[in-house]
Structures are given as C-alpha cells and as structure tokens.
Amino acid sequence: MCGITGWVSWTKSLSEQSPVLENMTNTITHRGPDSIGTWLSESAALGHRRLIVIDPEGGKQPMVYYEGPYAITLSYNGEIYNFKELREDLIHNGHHFKSSSDTEVLLHAYLEWGEACIERLNGIYAFAVWDERIEQLMLGRDHLGVKPLYFANRDNDIIFGSELKAMFAHPQVDPVIDKDGLSEIFGLGPIRTPGQGVFKDIEEVRAGHYVTFRKEGRKEEQYWTLKSHPHPDDLDTTVSTIRSYLEDTVTAQLVADRPVVSMLSGGLDSSGLTAIAGKDFSKEGKKLATYSIDFENNEKDFEKDFLRVDLDEPWAEKVSKHVGTEHKSIVLDADELAENLLVPMRARDLPGVGEIETSLYLLFKEMEKEATVALSGESADEVFSGYPWFHQDEFLEADIFPWLLNMRGMSSILSEQLKEKLDLPSYQKERYQEALDEVPVLEGESDLQAKQRRMSYMFITRFLPFMLDRKDRASMMTGFEVRVPFCDYRLVEYLWNVPIEMKNIDGIEKGILRRAFEGYLPEDVRYRKKSAYPSTKDQKYLERVSQWMLQILDDPTSPILPFIDVEKVRSITEGKSESIHASSAKGLLDYLIQVNAWLKEYDIKVIL
C-alpha cells in the first residue's frame, strides 16, 4: 500500500513547486516508508510514498507514459487483484509492459479504456491520473471505499491526498470547520457521511465513484452501486457460490513479494479466511502465521455483554491448532492503550473510537515487525447481515441510523449554545433520509424484508466505510497493509440479494457463511455465536482517561470547553453520573479527549 497526493492548476505554473509537493508527500511517509516519488509539470504536481508489496523495482511511482509530447501520469495506492488477467487482455490489445507490477497495468488500462478502466478493476485502490492530452485529472476510489482519498478546490486549483494532513501541508488549504463539520463530529460521531471531508470545502471521493476535473469544471460518476433483484439461486447453489468467491478472492489476495499473515480472533469470519489461506500455504509447503489480540487481566476482568459473549483467545488457539498456523497473541495493558490513545486520531486527522482503535494500531505495530501484509475478516457482518440490530424492532423502526441510538450520551453533554446553533436531531435525520433515498427497493418484499434491506444498505454504505477507514489508518500508520476478502465487490453484490432468511439459515446469524466454511473449520467454531472485537475491561484504563479528562476540564485554555457542558462531563468523569457510567463513560471520555487534542493540535478555526 501507499500514499498519494498532488496538485493541479490550470492558471499557474507548478514546475517550480517541488518544495510544496515534497512537504505534502512527506506528511504521509508512514503510508509508504520504502520510497518517495514526485513528478512535476507546468500544470500538475503528483507525489507518492511507497510501501513495496509487489515488484520492488518495476512499481516505482508516479508512473509516466508519454504519448508524443504528452505525459499521462499515475499515482496509485492499493492492490488490483485481477491485474494479471487485465495484463493479458492489454497485451492482446497491443500493449507492452516493462514490469510485473499492478501499477503499470492500471496505467495501461487507463490508456486503453480511459475513465471506463475503473469498471474493470477488482481490488482496493485510490488513484490519480493526470492526462496532459486533455488536461484532465481523474480521481478514482474502489467499490467499497477501502482506500481513502480527499480533494479540495481552491481558486480553481485541485489539491488532493490519501489523508487530510497531506492537503493541510499545501499553503492554500487550512483546517477550518463550520456548522456541518461540527454536526458530523458531535452529531454522527466517528461514523460520518460519505463524501463529507468534515473540514470546510474539503470533500471525499465516495466509494464506487470517480471524479474528473478540467479547466471548465468537474464531473462525478458513480461506476458501481448495489442493485436489487430477486435472488435466483437455491440454498445449495448459494452456499457453493459464496464458497467459490471466498476461495478465489483469498488466493488472489495472498499474492505479494513480502510476507503475508492473517488476523485470527477465533470468530467465524477470520477463522474461515485463515483456514482457506492456511490450505493455500500448505500446498506450497509453507506455514501461515496468525495473530490475535488480548488484554492484560482479560480473563479475570471479562464480563459477558450484548456484543461480547465469551473470550476470543481459547477459540483463536483452537483454530490455529486445527489449521496448523504459527500463532502469536499480542497482549496489551491499560498503560499502553492510554499512552497511544491519540495516535489513531493523528492517523485519520479526525477523532475516532478510542481504545478499540488504539489496540488495532498496537496490534499492527507488532505484526509489522515480521510481515508486510495481513488478511482480515472485516465487513462480513455488514454484507452477511450478521449484527443483532437486523433482528430488533427498536433498530428496524428507528428514524435515524441505528448505531446513533447507542450514542445518546453524546448529545446530553453538549453545551446549550452548541445545541441551539447545530440542531443535531435535524442533522441526523437529514443524513439518514439521504441514505434512505438511495436504497434500491425490491418490489414485492414484505414490510420486514424491506426494513432489513434498508438496514443492510445503511451498514454497507455508512457503517462499513467507517470500519474500513479505521483499519486502513491504524495499519498504514505503521506501514502495514491489510486486505479484506469479504469486500470483494462480486461477493458483496451477490449477497445483497440473498434473502436474510437464507443468510440466517439454521436459525443463527450468518448461517449461510457457516455452511460455506464446512470442512474448513471444526463444528463448534463454525457455530460459535458472534462476539464483537474485544475491548479492555481493566478499571485502570478508565482511571487513566478519567484523570486525563479532568486535566482538560481544569485547563481554561482547553479548546473543547465551549462545546460541552463542563459540569455534566465532570460528573461523568468522577463516576457520579446516574445515566452514563462504566463502559459508556470510557467510550465518551475517549472521544472527548481526542476532540480536544484534535482542535488544539490541528489549530482548527471554527466558524459558526
């Protein structure tokens, strides 16, 4: 994986702007610690940081192809899993290649098919192509939004980057936030609106979209979307199709010139992928390495709750033994989590989900010592409708995003002045209605089926991008690549139309996936109930963040103070609140600490 950034201008010369471009590119060194590349012309400046995974010599970027005097230049982040098939097609059409990299295949795909090349890609990617022939910049992003990409228009100059920090290194882009941005931060939390860059006049290329810019203006196209139609296959065919997709995509995603490992929680999703990958490894006489995460005193402190039914570690060890992997459990303590709380915020340039995100970062930091690429079970719950919310009336009947029902504590601690200026309930309902209007309806469904389809759409298009972004930023902060086989768009669009009754065959969530993994996993592992990503129960962590929050409240210069009800937050922090305590308090304090640091470190100007 890599980081990309750049700047295009139709009105000024950029050929002497190397210092600005290098500053932008160096802000994302963590995404590509292996090398830096820059390319400048009269109208365009493209930067690239590279993490070498495939073809160390042949995949250098930005990559340039000349057609006569005109340069077509690519800066690309990601992996194209079907690049070998595309390469064969392109060779058949007369193209010649100097390397074995997927980068060169993408560039030649653009040369052959233009903007339509993006419709032929299967992978995780974000890329920029500057085409001097027509003086056009194209920004493209993968189907589900695994790889990030932002842009801003400043005086008809287009500035873009994998991360917001790359854009803030440009003299024309300042970190300014207005009412909409604050509504995202305090009204939606970390699960934000697709396309919303949060900062004023900064946008995100939406998943499944590309944007082109010329002197005359911009054009945005959606090249992929979910389409509803009756599911044509019977149960056995559906199971075998799912199994076939997963075997195919896991094999494709094991391709790398650097070590590949697998995340293994002992849950259904990561266990099944590990079993498929382990089988592929054994065919080549190799042994797959797997990693899980645990917390100090977790066995002593663990308490069963709505999302976590049992401990992961015994299950991870069982699957490792069954598949034959070399397994490591990374054990974290409360001090490590507290000391690194702000690292994920700095990785995404926005407040996130606290210690759950911090633990991911620390896990990847350990994994990166022995590998460069990992497989992850991310997104299975979204595309297989595996969350409990799909089956509970409270969430199915809600007129806002279902996860916001669990965030009511946030609105209760905001200052009255902020509440009056933002009108967060209206903002939440407007964003929900936007998503609702996008849902591709299927005629003839029952009322319950229609509600479950809407719920599925919310999770795939709103919740999943947050989960993917969380994993991308936490991994890339350590120069480590994570691949997500369940995000193969072919699998996602196939599952979109599988009836939820079939998905939950055998009376259990993701029952059809459990059937697809038959023969790969022990029976008790296949039918283990879902347990969410682990979270520390160590009281010491809550004590650490509580002390931190009290310091913020006692410091009159803390930038968050005008936005919160200080006495309510103090009550929660001191454990005196009757409505918010324990794990809810921990999550809230994590978030507020990040917001305060974000406002301060990024020197954000707030316009209300």
Q: What is the 3-state secondary structure (H, E, C) of 230-294?
A: CCCCCHHHHHHHHHHHHHHHHHHHCCCCCCEEEECCCCHHHHHHHHHHHHHHHHCCCCCEEEEEE
Write out the binding residues for ATP.
293, 376-377
Residue pLDDT, tens place only, 528-547: 988 778 888 889 999 999 99
Write out the binding residues.
102, 293, 376-377
Residue 532 phi/psi, 5-degree rounding, is -70, 165
pLDDT band at 305 (very low <50, low <70, confident <90, very high): low
Residue 483 phi/psi, 5-degree rounding, is -105, 150
* Cα-based angle 498, 504, 507 (whole degrees, multiple of 5): 155
Write out the binding residues for L-glutamine.
102
Which CATH class, in words, describes the domain spanning 235-526? alpha beta
Q: What share of the chain is helix, strand, coil (3-state, %, to 5)?
A: 45, 20, 35
Positions marked catalytic: 2
**Cβ contact 500:385 at 8 Å:** yes
Q: Would you say the CATH fold of 235-526 matches that of 2-173+201-222?
A: no
550/585 Cα distance (integer angstroms): 13
In this structure, the number of other CB atoms found within 10 A of the CB of residue 581 comes to: 13
79/474 Cα distance (integer angstroms): 18
**Shortest CA distance to 422 belongs to which of 187, 193, 202, 175?**
187
Residue pLDDT, tens place only, 223-272: 999 999 999 999 999 999 999 999 999 999 999 889 999 999 999 999 99
* Cα-based angle 577, 581, 583 (whole degrees, multiple of 5): 165
**Shortest CA distance to 530 belongs to which of 326, 381, 331?**
381
**Shortest CA distance to 143 belongs to which of 206, 83, 205, 207?**
207
First to last CA, the chain: 38
Chain centre distance of CA 229: 28
The domain limits of the chain are 2-173+201-222, 235-526, 539-606
Residue pLDDT, tens place only, 164-193: 999 999 999 999 999 999 999 999 999 999
Residue pLDDT, tens place only, 466-500: 999 999 999 999 999 999 999 999 999 999 999 99
Residue pLDDT, tens place only, 284-302: 999 999 999 999 887 777 7
**Cβ contact 549:573 at 8 Å:** yes
Q: For residues 407-442, b (16+ Cβ closer than 10 Å) or e, as one string?
A: bebbbebbeeebbeebebeebbeebbeebeeebeeb
Cα–Cα distance list, 35 to 3, 31, 60, 166 (Å): 11, 10, 8, 16
What confidence score (pLDDT) does residue 307 get? 64
Choosing among 3.60.20.10, 3.30.70.1290, 3.40.718.10, 3.40.50.10380, the CATH entry for 2-173+201-222 is 3.60.20.10
